[in-house]
Amino acid sequence: MEKQKTVGSILEFPEKVFIRNIAGQHVCVKIYGPESLENQLAVLTHYLHHEGTEAGTVYQENGITEVKHLIRYFYPDLENLDQVAEYAHQYGLFQDVFDIPYPGPEEPKFTFIDLFAGMGGFRLAMQKHGGRCVYSSEWNKYAQKTYFANFGEIPFGDITKEETKRYIPDDFDILCAGFPCQPFSIAGVSKKNSLGRATGFLDKTQGTLFFDVAEIIRRKRPKAFFLENVKNLLSHDKGNTFRIIEGTLKELDYSIHFQVLDGQGYVPQHRERIIIVGFDNRYFHEKENFSFPDKPESLLCIAGILEPEVEKKYTLSDKLWTYLKQYAEKHKAKGNGFGFGLVDKNGIARTLSARYYKDGAEILVPQEEGKNPRRLTPRECARLMGYEDKYILNAVSEVQAYKQCGNSVVVPLITAVAGKLVESLLNYHADE
């Protein structure tokens, strides 16, 4: 039988799943269940994490069916198959799903769902305040691997599909979504304009994803939602894009709070993002008593996230360093500000982008005399976004880890806002 010990191996072969028996062996078997391949592992892992809970009822029927297919392969002569399938974890199966750095709280204070989950920055923030994630969705297969390695749960895929949406439980408290920002970001708009492509809500592949979020809010009516996007969302299309977003949310009868917040102060990085928080007027009656957190005094610097020693591969080659210097000089002569960013170790960094893996140009670390600057390591990038060192990055390649960090939220900032949101939620009394 095939064996695999790598963290996140459940995703290495989409048509297979690894289960661990009581002796600790990893056994590879194929799934032949009723679900589409995209959803099979999501249903399985969501079911295992929510056995016996109210949210788990939405996963129970198909989850047990998937478990039965696996156990029938592993124990073909088992007589009490139904019982083992229903209480798989108690029988020592699927330990990989539970041996994770970030398990959910045993006694949650509230529930939430995690849309466009990425690396799970929202999930970390919400779990920090006692929240239990009852549904996650992320279409990128590499982000799914990272998410599974840290949370033991494979997110559902394409949130625009009804087969994916149908698993969202009822009666969760908060909807979290860092919905894709490419249609609204300055870099994304510039790139698409140069290609003659539409941006914002005219972008049929990404711009309309906000409306999928709005439709889920309309159907499920969570008590609150927590959205994040790039700062440029406010000014895109002369403000029309944001007016549509704000108007749509207000039409759903939610009160809206929004503010542009900078990651600086939480991490040593200048990273401005718009945060949108909403509360159901039918529940709070506009008495939610919410305010954004005060900006902390910035005492952080790049030196605090740097590893003492890094491999030579992170140092720029002579060819690349020469190119970056010539490129910067060319644009400087034209009066443009484009160029590399050589950081002051006692200062903060520019905004980390998803393209950082290409050359690291926006954040370069100076080295001793005679050595070219170097790029940040993936671990340093994760620290720059506020992830702890126990967070698992190596479930994917370094290129994918760089991309995921560049697309992530600043975890401590999101955690601070989440604290204010959760405080409003838990302290509200309907009879006041």
* Burial tier of 335 (Cβ tally within 10 Å: 0-12, 13-18, 19+): exposed
Tell me which DSSP letter residue 221 carries: -
Q: What does the pLDDT read at residue 179? A: 85
Based on the domain organization, do 324 and 290 belong to the same domain? no
Based on the domain organization, do 271 and 378 belong to the same domain? no
Each residue's pLDDT, cut to its tens digit, for the chain (432 residues) gives 233 333 333 444 344 444 444 344 555 545 545 566 668 889 989 999 998 888 889 998 888 887 887 777 667 777 778 777 777 777 667 777 889 999 999 999 999 999 999 999 999 999 999 999 999 999 999 999 999 999 999 999 989 899 999 999 999 999 999 987 655 555 544 544 544 555 544 443 344 688 889 999 999 999 999 999 999 889 888 888 888 889 889 999 999 999 999 999 999 999 999 999 999 999 999 999 999 999 898 779 999 999 999 999 999 999 999 999 988 888 776 666 567 889 999 999 999 999 999 999 999 999 999 999 999 999 999 999 999 999 999 999 999 999 999 999 999 999 999 999 999 999 987 555
Residue 248 lies in a domain: yes
Strands (E), 158-271: 174-177, 224-230, 254-262
176 bridge partner residues: 114, 226
> Which of 98, 133, 149 is the C-terminal boundary of a domain?
98
Q: Give the pairing of strands 110-115 and 272-280.
A: unpaired
Based on the domain organization, do 195 and 252 belong to the same domain? yes
Q: Would you please indicate which residues are annotated as catalytic (active-site) residues?
A: 181
Strands (E), 281-367: 364-365
> Which of 98, 122, 153 is the C-terminal boundary of a domain?
98
The answer to whether residues 18 and 8 touch, using CB atoms and an 8 Å cutoff, is: no
Based on the domain organization, do 20 and 43 belong to the same domain? yes
The answer to whether residues 117 and 143 touch, using CB atoms and an 8 Å cutoff, is: yes
CB contact set of 380 (below 8 Å; sequence gap of 6+): 305, 306, 307
d(CA 421, CA 293): 10
CB contact set of 399 (below 8 Å; sequence gap of 6+): 357
Based on the domain organization, do 58 and 153 belong to the same domain? no
d(CA 194, CA 142): 28
Instruction: Identify the helix (H) or strand (E) that includes residue 402.
Output: helix 398-407
Q: What CATH number does residue 320 fall under?
A: 3.90.120.10
d(CA 146, CA 153): 10
Whole-angstrom Cα Rg for the chain: 23
Residue 4 lies in a domain: no
261 bridge partner residues: 273
- Could you tell me the maximum CA-CA distance found in the chain, to the nearest angstrom? 78
Based on the domain organization, do 49 and 92 belong to the same domain? yes
Domain that holds residue 317: 302-407
Residue 347 lies in a domain: yes
Give whole-number Cα distances, 21 to 75, 150, 327, in Å.
11, 21, 57
Based on the domain organization, do 258 and 315 belong to the same domain? no
Q: What does the pLDDT read at residue 10? A: 41
Q: What does the pLDDT read at residue 414? A: 98
Based on the domain organization, do 333 and 275 belong to the same domain? no
CB contact set of 23 (below 8 Å; sequence gap of 6+): none
Q: What does the pLDDT read at residue 232? A: 87
The answer to whether residues 178 and 160 touch, using CB atoms and an 8 Å cutoff, is: no
Q: What does the pLDDT read at residue 349? A: 96
Based on the domain organization, do 118 and 251 belong to the same domain? yes
* Burial tier of 166 (Cβ tally within 10 Å: 0-12, 13-18, 19+): exposed
Based on the domain organization, do 252 and 125 belong to the same domain? yes
Q: Two tokens at 216?
A: 């889920």
d(CA 246, CA 256): 7
pTM, entire model:
0.87
Based on the domain organization, do 291 and 309 belong to the same domain? no
The answer to whether residues 219 and 185 touch, using CB atoms and an 8 Å cutoff, is: no
Taking alpha carbons only, the member of 44, 48, 154, 25 closest to residue 98 is 48
Q: What angle do CA 30, 35, 41 make, to 5 degrees?
A: 55
